Amino acid sequence: MGDHGPAYDRFVAELARYPDLIDRLLTAHRLTGECDGCRLPGAQRAISAPCSIRSLAERAQGLVSTCARAS
C-alpha cells in the first residue's frame, strides 16, 4: 500500500473504516497555508500544511475510494 512500513499501512487501513473521522480530520487540517488543527492556541511555531495528519487522512480516503470502486 505504501512506502512507510507495515504498521503505517495497518493504521491507514484501520482509519479507512471510519469515513466520518476522515472527513473531520480533513476539515480540521488544511491543505495549504498553516495547519490550524496542529497548532495550539498561543503556539509560537505554526505547522505548514499539509501536515502529517492530513496526509494520513488523505491516504485513508484514497483507500476508501479504491475499495468502493472495486466493489
Amino acid present at 49: A
Query: What pTM was computed for the model?
Result: 0.80
48 φ, ψ (degrees, to nearest 5): -70, 140
How confident is residue 37, by pLDDT bands cut at 50, 70 and 90?
confident
> Whose grid coordinates read 495547519?
35
> How do the domains of the chain map onto residue ranges?
6-70
Sorting pLDDT into bands at 50, 70 and 90, what band is 2?
A: low
Quick one: average pLDDT of 34-46? 78
Q: Which three cell numbers stand for residue 69?
A: 470502486
Structural Rg of the chain based on CA atoms: 13
